[in-house]
Structure 1
Amino acid sequence: MSRSGLALTIGFAAEAVRESAPHIQCVAPRAATPFVADTLHGVGARSLVTGTSPDALAAAGGAEAVVMDLAALSSEWNDAIVATAARLDQAGQPWVLDLTPLGSLPLDRGRVDALLAHRPTIVRVHPEEIGGFSGDGVDAAIVWGESAERVTYGGREVDVPRGSEMLAQIPGVRSAVSALIGACAVMTGPLEASLAGAAWLALASERAEEHARGPASFRTTLIDALWTVRGDEIAEYLKV
């Protein structure tokens, strides 16, 4: 895809999220739940943020995209998790796997490999958190770094601005970025969705910082900024 074609697709994906209000389920840590939900509704999507009980995981079949945060999965691991990933794979539903460790505990590579076997659409990973992960053999877009600053897919690599430093003061930002990426994955391919979701929050955060007086006002202003960012502005921000 040409640079201009990529820009058009990214812009379309963001506008399509706002117009069609996709239903996104996020299996995320409890501390992230409020911000993840607010972020999704801030871009016009619908949210269901759950834990990992069998009933909660069964709801994934009714979502248009699913996000699984390994920090939440690790704390409540059960046999239904891998089975849910298998169902998503078989149904062709887009799903995002965020390889976030639970606190300082190392990631369980057996669990990671079991989930990767069911072909997530997009994988988020920080090299410092999972040593030796290169993405080789993984048929997914890889979103690298805590702040989603780089995306690789199909031999292509695109950098993403980090956004405001104030994002570090908001619990649940990493999960929220994954949720936005998941919403965009309903509308377009893995590379475009990863770029659109990551840059959407980064751009909104820079605008929010201009009007914030501290973390509380920044959080509120950020949600409002997400609502007003246009798809073409996201593509321009990425310089694609």
Structure 2
Amino acid sequence: MTPALLQSVRDAVGEVRSAAPLVQCVTNSVVVNFTANALLAIGAAPAMVDIPEESGVFAAVADAVLINLGTPNAEQRAASVEAVAAARAGGTPWVLDPVAVGVLPVRTALAHRLLDERPSIVRGNPSEILALAGAGAGGRGVDSADGVDDALEGALSLARSTGAVIAVSGAVDLLTDGERVVRIANGDPLLTRITGGGCALGAVLAAFAGAHPDRFEASVAAVAAYTVAAELAARGADGPGSFAVGFLDALASLDGATVAERIVLS
């Protein structure tokens, strides 16, 4: 880990707090509330604008956009395409979270269509990233059937072909822009036992991309902040319920110095 990257992580947390980026979320209906609360806790402003004829209008004024394919009904599919077109036209960073791609045909086709619009960041589990890269058939629904390191070559290939930063989520998170590769070994297993533990990370990635100009640095900082908050919340949790509340509290009280001190990078 270079001192410059560590400093950028420290700075990015403060930049999100001071900028309060407006993050448009076209996201899965199961996680809307938790995602909005996570964004508020980290210092961003959520907006769940996810219907056609409004999503493109809003994307044009948002600081960042999240597209999560967890429950892609017909309206959300149209809204996703509309929002991404507006984001790309305006140079607005946007994040693609390709939930359960590879296994299910409708969202898989949509994910590949959206990839052509060159997302700023793609966040997924190893099986989802491999499926997007054409190197796998997906996992078991929303659960990965592959390890993070199994997805390294696919992530590198996907980053190079799309220009996106690829964030592969797992016990140890892996991030790459096609050249640089960073692993972050923070977090806690309780994140996998609450609804929205992965999906809300996509929104936090969007918030950091909307506040910090370097997308790779923003992604590293976002994942570090999120997983450090999970560690802090787990210390006082009796189970998933108290962890979920404590996690939002930890995100709200987090500062750049704490993230930089606790981050485990390789």
Give the structure-1-normalised TM-score: 0.89
The equivalent of 1:11 in structure 2 is 10
Moved more, 49-58 or 188-197: 49-58
**What's the offset of the Cα at 1:73?**
3.5
Structure-2 change in CA distance of 1:127 and 1:219 (3 Å): closer
Q: Any conservation in 2 of the 1:119–1:139 contact (CA below 8 Å)?
A: yes
Superposed counterparts of 1:81-230, under 5 Å: 81-101=80-100, 105-106=104-105, 108-129=107-128, 130-131=130-131, 132-133=134-135, 134=154, 135=158, 136-146=160-170, 149-188=173-212, 189-230=214-255
Q: Secondary structure at the match of 1:173?
A: coil
Q: Which amino acid aligns with 1:181?
A: L
The equivalent of 1:42 in structure 2 is 41
Structure-2 change in CA distance of 1:127 and 1:106 (3 Å): farther
For 1:109 and 1:170, how far apart are their aligned partners in 2?
25
2:257 to 213, 232, 237: 232
Q: Secondary structure at the match of 2:223?
A: helix
Structure-2 change in CA distance of 1:83 and 1:147 (3 Å): farther
**What's the offset of the Cα at 1:7?**
1.0
For 1:34 and 1:227, how far apart are their aligned partners in 2?
16
**What do you get for the CA RMSD once the two structures are aligned?**
2.3
Q: Any conservation in 2 of the 1:17–1:45 contact (CA below 8 Å)?
A: yes
For 1:114 and 1:170, how far apart are their aligned partners in 2?
30
Structure-2 change in CA distance of 1:156 and 1:107 (3 Å): farther
For 2:172 and 2:105, how far apart are their aligned partners in 1?
20
Q: Which amino acid aligns with 2:231?
A: E
For 1:234 and 1:60, how far apart are their aligned partners in 2?
30
For 1:169 and 1:109, how far apart are their aligned partners in 2?
25
Structure-2 change in CA distance of 1:165 and 1:118 (3 Å): same
Q: Which amino acid aligns with 1:183?
A: A
For 1:104 and 1:85, how far apart are their aligned partners in 2?
23
Q: Secondary structure at the match of 2:60?
A: helix
For 1:94 and 1:147, how far apart are their aligned partners in 2?
26
For 1:163 and 1:106, how far apart are their aligned partners in 2?
32
Q: Which amino acid aligns with 1:190?
A: R
For 1:51 and 1:75, how far apart are their aligned partners in 2?
11
Structure-2 change in CA distance of 1:46 and 1:148 (3 Å): farther
Q: Any conservation in 2 of the 1:98–1:123 contact (CA below 8 Å)?
A: yes
Q: Any conservation in 2 of the 1:72–1:102 contact (CA below 8 Å)?
A: no
